[in-house]
Amino acid sequence: MSREDLDRAVHLLLAGRLVAFPTETVYGLGADARNPEAVARIFEAKGRPSTNPVIVHVAGIEQARRYTTEWSRNAQWLAEIFWPGPLTIVVPRSPEIAPSVSAGLDTVGLRAPRHALTLELLRLFDGPIAAPSANRSNRISPTTAQHVQEELGDRVDLILDGGQCDIGIESTVVSLCTPIPTLLRPGDVELDQLRAVLGRVDVAPHIQDVATAASSPGRHPIHYAPQKPCFRYESHEYSRVVRYLGEHATWPIVLLAINARMLASPKHRVVGMPTHPASYARHLYSALRTADTSGTSAILVELPPDEPEWMAIRDRLMRATRPLP
């Protein structure tokens, strides 16, 4: 990326157009957060319901303070420790931010991304960039510029290519606008890390619901999902997998497995997934995307262990899949 690309990006943003950009989590679909028409373009390009608030990206603490009416001590501590990085902090929204960014809520989610190119863009633009992940609504988030191109094509005016995203899943979202700070979305910054700074942190009910959905199929909407049927199984459900594959012996099926010990058959392909959470996260969305676009009939995903360091990954997998029938 050259200086000219960045200048062009700034020019487009000021003109109310859409610019996709890399972050350390996933690619974002950006627009000037002060401009309601520009923000409307984001929702339109994604096919996203206007009831779902969008994150606002800032260059750092100084900018963040401009876009909130209350920058608390907790916000300051979190930002000092985790920014630039994969943490979105929900604080009271200043009137400068278009209400539609936050789906009409009087709060705003702020985050300084840890990506040199995008931090430079934010400094040059010198304003708030609203950006959800740069995918069509409810599809898999993009972790390369190529993915953004596949998802949005000419719905986006410019794609800045910053290579593959380092972390690979969306940021942690924590609200400081609830009586007790509340985790709204698990991510690379873990619950224990938030508790070390904030003391008590509650977990939003919708996260807990997803975490227990294994035993209650169909209780939550499918998000972040491939288009092919996508099923999950726990490691100890190995025998159910063998049975499923036996019943569908003629189907081309892709398995994303941590324990890739097994299941060789000419029709089935086993993709060995990393055993460490950080590398698993980095590969997850491109693995799902590749599985989804190969000529496969179904995707089976082995859930990683139900342990704190896997919380964000399990959360995404629970939303992307259904229990194995």
Residues that bind ligand TXA (CB under 6 A): 23, 25-26, 28, 52-55, 88, 90, 102, 105, 107-109, 111, 113, 131-133, 170-171, 173, 175, 184-185
Please give the DSSP secondary-structure letter assigned to residue 273.
P
Specify the residue, 152 or 300, whose C-beta has the smaller distance to ligand TXA.
Answer: 152
Q: Does 133 contact Mg ion by CB under 5 A?
A: yes
- With CB cut-offs between 5 and 8 Å by kind, which of Mg ion, ligand TXA, none does residue 186 bind? none
Calculate ∠ Cα 160-163-165, nearest 5°.
105
CB of 30 to Mg ion, least distance (A): 13
Q: By CB under 5 A, which span of 75-83, 132-140, 232-240, 263-271 interacts with Mg ion?
A: 132-140
String of contacts with Mg ion for each residue 221-260, x by CB under 5 A: ----------------------------------------
First to last CA, the chain: 47
Distance of CA 223 to the CA centre of its chain: 11
Kindly state whether residue 107 participates in binding Mg ion, applying the rule CB under 5 A: no
* Smaller CB separation from Mg ion, 91 or 320: 320
> In whole angstroms, how close is the CB of 165 to Mg ion at the nearest point?
13
Run of H or E residues at 302: strand 298-302
Per-position b or e across 290-311, b if 16+ CB within 10 A of its CB: ebbeeebebbbbbbbeeeeebb
CB 48 within 8 A of CB 137: yes
Range in contact with Mg ion (rule: CB under 5 A) among 28-36, 63-71, 127-135, 266-274: 127-135
Closest contact distance (angstroms) between CB of 109 and ligand TXA is 3
- The torsion of the CA quartet 119, 124, 126, 128, rounded to 10 degrees, works out to -50
- Which residue's CB is nearer to Mg ion, number 233 or number 285? 285
- According to DSSP, residue 171 is labeled P
Closest contact distance (angstroms) between CB of 101 and ligand TXA is 8
Written as six digits, the tokens of 188 are 């690379």
- Quick one: what does residue 55 bind among ligand TXA, Mg ion, none, with the CB cut-off 5 to 8 Å set by partner type? ligand TXA
> Which two three-digit tokens encode residue 161?
């290519």
- Quick check: 25 binds Mg ion (CB under 5 A)? no
Burial tier of 227 (Cβ tally within 10 Å: 0-12, 13-18, 19+):
exposed
Closer Cβ to ligand TXA, 7 or 106, answer by number: 106
Stretch that binds Mg ion, among 129-137, 206-214, 233-241, 310-318 (CB under 5 A): 129-137
Nearer to Mg ion, 61 or 105 (CB): 105
Residue 9 or 298: the one with the smaller Cβ distance to ligand TXA is: 9
Least separation in angstroms between residue 133's CB and Mg ion is 3
Structure tokens at 21: 């950009």
Q: Which two structure tokens, joined as six digits, stand for 32?
A: 């000037």
What is the nearest approach in angstroms of Mg ion to the Cβ of residue 305?
25
- Nearest residue (CB) to ligand TXA, 104 versus 272: 104
Listed in sequence order, the DSSP H helices in the chain are 3-14, 36-46, 61-66, 73-82, 116-125, 145-152, 191-198, 205-211, 238-247, 277-293, 311-320
